[in-house]
Amino acid sequence: AFSAEMGLDIRERVRLLQALRQAVESERLFVVYQPQVNLISGEVVGVEALIRWRNDDGTFVPPDRFIPLAEASGMIVAIGDWVLRVSCHELVRLQAMGLPNLRMSVNVSQIQFRHPEFLDKLNAALLDTGINPKCLELEITESVAMEDPAFILETLHMVRELGISIAIDDFGTGYSSLSHLRQLPIDRLKIDRAFVTELSQEVSGGHIASMVIELGRNLKLTVIAEGIEEESQAQTLLRLGCHEGQGYLYAKPLTAVQLKEWLQTRAEHL
């Protein structure tokens, strides 16, 4: 089913998988960080870690293309653990720059989340880097949060016991059971980019975004919007009661070096 989904035939999949193995070995994977801002104050509240794969010729293989393959092959467990460690180390450096409360959001795949060693690895990353667990947030997608409710509930509780917070990514794209959602120990809903884009369209725009924000209010969850590209979208989100966002309007995902420059320039202008 995944080959059809990805539009790749077997040969193409095998080739890509070999290339991914080589990319891991030759360290062609790296992590970029996209700022998350408070929409009222403009303050940077966090960054989301996003993986990148650069080919020798300088072109990129998009995560949407290789993450499913990394999941199907099990490589995502090692890759995800690496992203977690790299991001936690980067958080230490960023916080030392004078942003002591900065939050790091890390995407966690379903396969990684279900791996028997997941919690041990999470704990090890905390201990090795010494970060404040309160500044670490894991993003799991809505579909993951809704599958196998008993297992998810238990795992999320254990993640929360470590002090780590949890965001539901791509919220609004799945079919959440509201009674299940209400039971989950989560902190944040992340409005999917599609519903932010919709805010600029005149007709019936913003319905889903406003429903998610309302839901967040009722469940006492923070709501963050992703994919904000226009000032008008930010204004509408603010008016609807969403106070955090990320998107090209503020910054594209940046390398660690670019992010430091971006943060410095921004601090000078505030």
Please give the residue ranges that form the binding site for ligand C2E (CB under 6 A).
34, 50-51, 62-64, 67, 80, 83, 107-109, 139, 169-170, 193, 226-229, 246-248, 253
Q: Indicate which of ligand C2E, Mg ion, none lies near residue 102 (CB less than 5 to 8 Å, by partner kind).
A: none
Neighbours of 194 (CB within 10 A): 14
- Measured from the CB atom, the residue of 13 and 52 that comes closer to Mg ion is 52
- Measured from the CB atom, the residue of 64 and 202 that comes closer to Mg ion is 64
Q: Indicate which of Mg ion, ligand C2E, none lies near residue 149 (CB less than 5 to 8 Å, by partner kind).
A: none
Residue that has been written with the tokens 């201990």 in this structure: 127
Rounded-to-5 percentages of helix, strand, coil across the chain = 55, 20, 30
Sole window of 25-33, 81-89, 169-177, 242-250 interacting with Mg ion (rule: CB under 5 A): 169-177
Minimum CB distance to ligand C2E, residue 190 (Å):
7
Q: Of 142, 170, 198, 244, which one interacts with Mg ion (CB under 5 A)?
A: 170
* 263-267 own/partner pairs: CB under 8 Å, 24+ apart: 263/35, 263/44, 263/94, 263/97, 263/99, 266/44, 267/98
Q: Could you say whether residue 139 binds Mg ion (CB under 5 A)?
A: yes
Which residues, at least 6 apart from 134, have a Cβ–Cβ distance to it below 8 Å?
Answer: 163, 164, 165
- Measured from the CB atom, the residue of 34 and 165 that comes closer to ligand C2E is 34
Minimal CA–CA distance to 46: which of 144, 188, 198?
Answer: 188
